[in-house]
Structures are given as structure tokens and as C-alpha cells.
Amino acid sequence: MTQPGRSGAASPDADRHWLLEAISLSRCCPPSASAFSVGAVLVGADGAVMSTGYSRECTPVDHAEEVALARIGLPGAAPLGSAAQNGVDLAGATLYSSLEPCAARASRPTPCADLIIASGIGRVVIAWREPPIFVPGGGAVRLRQAGLAVIVVPELASSARAVNAHLLSG
Ligand SMILES: [Zn+2]
């Protein structure tokens, strides 16, 4: 499904820039006592932003990644269809998310990791591994098993965590 050879194009500086943008978006999330605040930015192969999203942006159960995918015509809550069916080639695109995409979720049947895999996106860059507070983590492993490149930028994890401090202290 993915072509790893196409997916290493972004520079570390670009990755850092867009990940900081995703973390900034996470600060827009309506507060929640039971879900993380996450921001996501989808950047095309040409380096231009294709879409953005943040947790609970449109409805109280939205995840950041699915909002970003919905904006380009891949509705997260709908049955999975390939991005090609929607006329969007995302093999060279990179999804930046402040938090590891979920591999399980309580609010909707399809976790973001599966939405991302179905979209055809070739590369995912995250700042923070999902702590097993609400659901088990494991999104990065699932993405890698599907052939996507997953890059973790741990030096930005504390920034991604900061907006969620109220969920982590207890
Ligand atoms: Zn999710």
C-alpha cells in the first residue's frame, strides 16, 4: 500500500516545524476530563498543508487525525474507503500529530491508526507516545506493521504533554 522510498523526504527541521504546529493546534481543543487534547497537520508531498484538525473540533468525540482526514474528504466515521477512491494520493504525504494515533478508542468504532492506514498516507510523525490511561497505546506499532514510516520526535513530547497535564497528574 505504501512506498517507503517516497516517504523520507521531509527534513528534520520541517518535521520539527510541523510538529510544533500540531502541538499549537492541540491548545485549541475544548477541555475534557476524559480525553487527550491533540493537534494534527497533514502536509502534502509538495510541503504544503493539506488540512489540520484538533480533538473535539467539530463534535465532542472527534479525534484530531480524523478531523484532518475528514477535511480532505475521508470521513472518519464512515466505512473505510481508499484515498484513491476519493481522488487523493497521500503516499507522499506526512501526518503530524502531537500524540501517537490511537489503536483503540471508546467513542467510535475505527481507531485513527486504521483511518490513517486506509487513507494511504505514507509517513506519520509524532511527539508523544500514548500513555495507557484511557485505552492501550500501540498505534505506532500498528502503523509500522502496515508499512508506514513512523518518526517519533521525543524532544517535543513535553510540549505535547503539557496541554494534557490535568489528565496525567492523577
Ligand atoms: Zn484517535
Q: Could you report the per-residue pLDDT of 91-112, keeping only the tens digit for each?
A: 999 999 999 999 998 888 899 9
Characterize the bridge pairing of strands 39-43 and 49-54: antiparallel
Cell of 164: 494534557
Give me ligand 1 centre to Cα 90, in Å.
Answer: 19
Question: CA–CA separation, 2 vs 16, rounded Å?
Answer: 23
> What is the tens place of the pLDDT at every residue in 50-81?
999 999 999 999 999 999 999 988 755 344 44
Question: Which three cell numbers mark 155?
Answer: 524532544
The 39-43 sheet, strands edge to edge? 49-54, 39-43, 94-99, 123-128, 149-152
Mean pLDDT of 157-164: 96
Q: Which SS3 state, helix, strand or coil, does residue 21 take?
A: helix
Flag whether pLDDT at 125 surpasses 70: yes
- Ligand 1 centroid–CA 57 distance in Å is 13
pTM confidence score: 0.88
State yes or no: is 57 an active-site residue.
no
Which of the following is catalytic: 65, 66, 100, 130?
Answer: 65
pLDDT, residue 87, reads 64
Tell how far the Cα of 46 is from the centroid of ligand 1, in angstroms. 26
The pLDDT score that the predictor gives to residue 77 is 39
Where is average pLDDT lowest: 79-88, 130-139, 151-160?
79-88
Q: Round to whole Å and give the CA distance between 1 and 7.
A: 12
